[in-house]
Amino acid sequence: MKKKTFISYISPKGLAKYPRLDQPYSWNDSANRNMPDPDGHFETALLVAEKEAQPLIEKVKEAIAESGIKPKHLPYKQEVDKETDDPTGNIEFRFKAYGKTRDGEPNKIRFFDAQGRPVPSNIYLTSGSTIRCLGYISVSKMGCRLNLKEVQIIDLIEREASGFDAVEGSFVYDASDGDTDTTSFETNEETNSGAADF
């Protein structure tokens, strides 16, 4: 049996799809949707044009070859149009991270702006935002996984505005008062010591 290996990656830039990165989530049957759960996962899909996706696909293949394992599932697939079932020309990657470390401590995804500067770790990332992902690849019989540590936000799509108009009141949120914690992300598995930075 080959030694377990972890290969670091930085993804090409792409469009975030259904990101849940402000806190960990898990599926709730009674609510019929994903709900915040400290024991859940952080996750996002990333849509990347097929040509630009090839370097990360090659990284995944490299990790599988080094592991000597044939995984049941891969962390990417061809995106198809929901109405026509025709390929869109994009590859859809899936990134995940554990909500807690092996020691039971909460994890956080580290966020960076387009200049590579840290931003609040609880920022609410929206679908359609342009991002890059950083982490490491692990392989098991159940599947190959793109473990997520950091996200670079290149273009942020604003959340939909509420139906409220402005009224007089004492509470006005100032982003400069927000959480600026950029605590390093810890994983439930050992990480590649040569992990790259943005």
Q: Is the pLDDT of residue 196 over 60?
A: no
Q: Is the pLDDT of residue 173 over 60?
A: no
Answer yes or no: is 195 within a domain: no
Q: Which of 133, 94, 127 is nearest to 111 (CA)?
A: 133
- Report the number of distinct structural domains present in the chain: 1
Q: What is the DSSP letter of 157?
A: P
pTM of the model: 0.80
What pLDDT is recorded for position 161? 55
What pLDDT is recorded for position 62? 96
Single-letter code of the amino acid located at 126? T
What residues form DSSP beta bridges with 131? 14, 153
pLDDT-derived band at 98 (thresholds 50, 70, 90) equals very high
Contact between residue 122 and residue 182 where contact means Cβ atoms under 8 Å apart: no
Q: Is the pLDDT of residue 164 over 80?
A: no
For position 76, which CATH number holds? Answer: 2.40.50.140
Answer yes or no: is 191 within a domain: no
Q: Which of 11, 32, 5 is nearest to 131 (CA)?
A: 11
Q: Which of 156, 153, 154, 151 is nearest to 128 (CA)?
A: 156
Answer yes or no: is 184 within a domain: no
Sole residue written with tokens 């290149």: 154
Q: Which residue has the higher pLDDT, 2 or 164?
A: 164
Q: Is the pLDDT of residue 141 over 80?
A: yes
- CB-neighbour burial class of residue 49 (10 A; exposed 0-12, middle 13-18, buried 19+): middle
Joined together, the tokens standing for residue 195 give 């992990």
Average pLDDT (84-111) is: 95
For Cα atoms 175, 124, 103, give the angle at the middle one, nearest 5 degrees. Answer: 105
Query: Of 21-30, 92-101, 161-170, which gets the smallest average pLDDT?
Result: 161-170
* Percent of the chain surpassing pLDDT 70: 78
Average pLDDT (15-23) is: 95
Answer yes or no: is 187 within a domain: no
Q: Which domain holds residue 79?
A: 7-161+172-177
Averaged pLDDT of the chain: 85
What pLDDT is recorded for position 188? 40
What pLDDT is recorded for position 105? 94
What pLDDT is recorded for position 14? 98
Residue partners of 131: CB distance under 8 A and separation at least 6: 13, 14, 15, 16, 19, 44, 46, 125, 151, 152, 153, 154
Dump pLDDT digits (tens) for 20-76: 999 999 999 999 999 999 999 999 999 999 999 999 999 999 999 999 999 999 999
For Cα atoms 6, 10, 16, give the angle at the middle one, nearest 5 degrees. Answer: 115
